[in-house]
Chain A
Amino acid sequence: MSVLRQLLLLSCALFCTGLYGILTRRNAIGMLLSVELILNAAILNFVVLGRVYGSPQAQAFALFIIALAACEAAVGLAIILGLYRTAKTVETDRIHLLKG
């Protein structure tokens, strides 16, 4: 089993963990953390495949995604904070403001 395959399997595992986290976590912060995991899986993919194909652009994309993830985390946390202020909870099942 080559290193590449191992690394891709690691990335896949990270993605699946994140996906599992999103689908099972009821806590909005937990879901946000799971999204971070998925993003990291994507970054790992970029870096590994960039290394394989010798493309510097992939690393640039990785840096972009890290910056984007930071922004996303900031905006997401701000939304969760706002949500907590109005709904007094971060449990996504309990939030039904829009339900008719």
Chain B
Amino acid sequence: MSHSAALAATIPTVTSSLAWIPLLPLAAFAVLMLCGRRLGRLSAWLSVAALAGSLLLTCRLAGPVFQGQRLALAWSWLPDTAAQWSMGLAVDGLSWVMLAVVTSIGTLIQLYSIGYMHGDPRFSRFFAYLSLFCASMLGLVMADHFVLLFACWELVGVCSYLLISFWFEKPEAAAAGRKAFITTRIGDTGLLLGILLLAATAGDLHFNQLGAIRMQWLLKDHGGLLTAVSLLIFLGAMGKSAQIPLHVWLPDAMEGPTPVSALIHAATMVAAGVYLVARTFPLFTAESLAVVLAVGLATHLLAGTVALTMTDIKRVLAYSTLSQLGLMFTALGLGAMPLAMFHLVTHAWFKALLFLGAGSVIHATHQQDLAHVGGLWRHMPLTGATFLIAALALSGIFPLSGFWSKDAILLEARHRAPWVYGCVLAGAVVTAGYIFRLYLRCFHGAASSSAAHAHESPLVMALPLAVLAAGAAVVGFVGSPVTHFRLFQLLGVPDAHEGIDLVVVGVSTLMAGAGVWLAWQVGVRHRRLLPAGLRPLGSRLYGWASHKYFVDEGYEAVLIQPFLRLTRWLSQFDHNVIDAAVDGAGRTGWSISRLKAWVDQRVVDRLVNGVAQSAQAWGRALRLMQTGWLHQYLLWVAVGVVVLSVWMRWWPEALVSRGAF
């Protein structure tokens, strides 16, 4: 980066239009919540228009962002506190990439939802939630401060919960929403702790200060603190991006409507974890990156193998998402943040397309089990073709988008750590295998009964499919030599890439081809390729994978059942001990108050009455003196005078000693 560009990056350009990017969908949300029912079908178009407006604003920011400027808009939050607590929005290259992904894919998926959710009783409510999601996601991406990021982070979590359990009449959907919310909460707690730790130690939570904090701490030999903060932040990312071991919620989240799965649980929200790590990348030390790498790689491989065995279309895609997010974290763990973001961008396009294609199939056949679909190509050629493009892109076939991002990661892995390279190559076989098993079973092979009356989706659904397919095909070029690696320039890495390594390209294409061949042989034609001796082992591995490595069962046995036992025991304890104690205290209080009432009536009241009665008696006695007879009064006076005179005459000292005179 040249000196002037570096200067431009440090001094933000104030841009007030930034606020409108999240505010437009937020306004749409408010309108839809208040009068969505009356707007009917118009509500969807309002929502789409709002997000398209955000897309337009994002495009208008492209010029300055590509020049290396950092656009910002800050306002004073908590007046009278230090300036470091101001809050604001900021757009640099990294945020802009995410903004572009969220707004463009979000607009297309909302458009698609108009067709998919047609006739749903809570049609406008769905779009209200989608708008709220987009608003909070945009806020998350544009936040220049941990506090705002965390608030939006939780908001997208809420939207995810609302949208997973959108069809809450289905008990599975309600349970899946709960599971997603609670599981991500574990990660969010980590993120919150990380933020608090950072606030307590560094005192500044602005993202553009992270580099300075890293320098300071490394100088003071506080590397351990840096590792702790970054691992806590990574825990939040693990929850949101569903990395092992917090991945269990994402497959269940497929109970939500398919556009939701496409937008939130494939393209944008689950990628927020990757974005978070990329955004806070200066905080990550070698130790924490090793953890990121291990988690990412484990998720990449394990989720990929589970995807091979799933029979539900959306669950295959869910595990595929897990696996690809794992790949992004692998890239982050290798220290190659721009590559992770690159894969995030391409993955968002082709995975959204895969989900929308799957949604199209489900919409047409009302089936989402691989056993009940097949031979759909003849009835749904557009869906089939776009799905094929997405599947090829995911497998990393030249020159589709996935190829560029995946090969960049492979190349990086080969330079940094050969064993990671081997693992990612194995992952490439698995990836191509599961996605082509899905594709071939859906669109080829024997036509199922449900395929007979399947039909191509309406235009409002087909158009986004076509646009996404075009995007999934070409979006990879932004990180390729064709455009001189524009994306990496945007992310602040002008010339890190060495070009294309033909060996890596050849090997990865070979691996993808092997995966496709295996999918055809095993997944569709049901050939038995393993030698007879290895078959028991193979079937055991298959069993493990098809049970998702028993993670859910493990959580059930290790966490949930003991927890339920504990709660039952606590309930007993509550009932037998605490309630008894409380009742006893109540009874004691009652007895004491009865005693007090007796004392009150017998002693206090009698005393009071006695005082009153004595006053009355005195009054009666003294009344006798008040005869109204003047001479009697005068007589009393005279007698008094005589008595006093006599007293003073004979005992004057008595009066003096009493102080009367």
Contacts and interface: CB of A to CB of B under 8 A. Distances in A.
Interface of A: 19, 22-24, 26, 92-93, 96, 98-99
A23 B635 contact: yes
Contacts of A19: 638
10 contacts: A22-B634, A23-B631, A23-B635, A23-B638, A92-B630, A93-B629, A93-B630, A93-B631, A98-B628, A99-B628
Contacts of A24: 631
B634 A23 contact: yes
A60 B183 CA distance: 110
Contacts of B635: 23
Nearest to A96: B628
A23 B635 CA distance: 6
Contacts of B634: 22-23
A80 B635 CA distance: 21
Interface string B147-158: 000000000000
A22 B630 CA distance: 10
A93 B631 CA distance: 8
Interface of B: 628-631, 634-635, 638
A92 to B, nearest CB: 5
A91 to B, nearest CB: 10
Nearest to A22: B634
Contacts of A96: 628
A98 B634 CA distance: 17
A98 B630 CA distance: 12
A96 to B, nearest CB: 6
Given A19-B638, A22-B634, A23-B635, 7 more contacts: A23-B631, A24-B631, A26-B631, A92-B631, A93-B629, A93-B630, A98-B628
Contacts of B631: 22-24, 26, 92-93
A98 B627 CA distance: 11
Nearest to B641: A19
Contacts of B638: 19, 23
6 closest A-B pairs by CB = A99-B628, A92-B630, A22-B634, A96-B628, A23-B634, A23-B635
A100 B638 CA distance: 26
B400 to A, nearest CB: 117
A20 B378 CA distance: 145
A35 to B, nearest CB: 10
Contacts of A98: 628
A95 to B, nearest CB: 8
A19 B631 CA distance: 11
A92 B634 CA distance: 12
B639 to A, nearest CB: 10
A23 B634 CA distance: 7
Contacts of B630: 92-93
Nearest to B628: A99
A98 B629 CA distance: 11
A98 B626 CA distance: 11
Contacts of A26: 631
A60 to B, nearest CB: 26
A92 B635 CA distance: 14
A79 B595 CA distance: 63
B629 to A, nearest CB: 7
A26 B635 CA distance: 13
Nearest to B627: A99
B628 to A, nearest CB: 4
Nearest to B631: A23
A23 B641 CA distance: 14
Contacts of A23: 631, 634-635, 638
A23 B633 CA distance: 9
A34 to B, nearest CB: 10
A26 B631 CA distance: 8
Contacts of B629: 93
Nearest to B630: A92
A93 B635 CA distance: 14
B315 to A, nearest CB: 102
A11 B620 CA distance: 41
Nearest to B638: A19
B625 to A, nearest CB: 13
A28 to B, nearest CB: 9
Contacts of B628: 96, 98-99
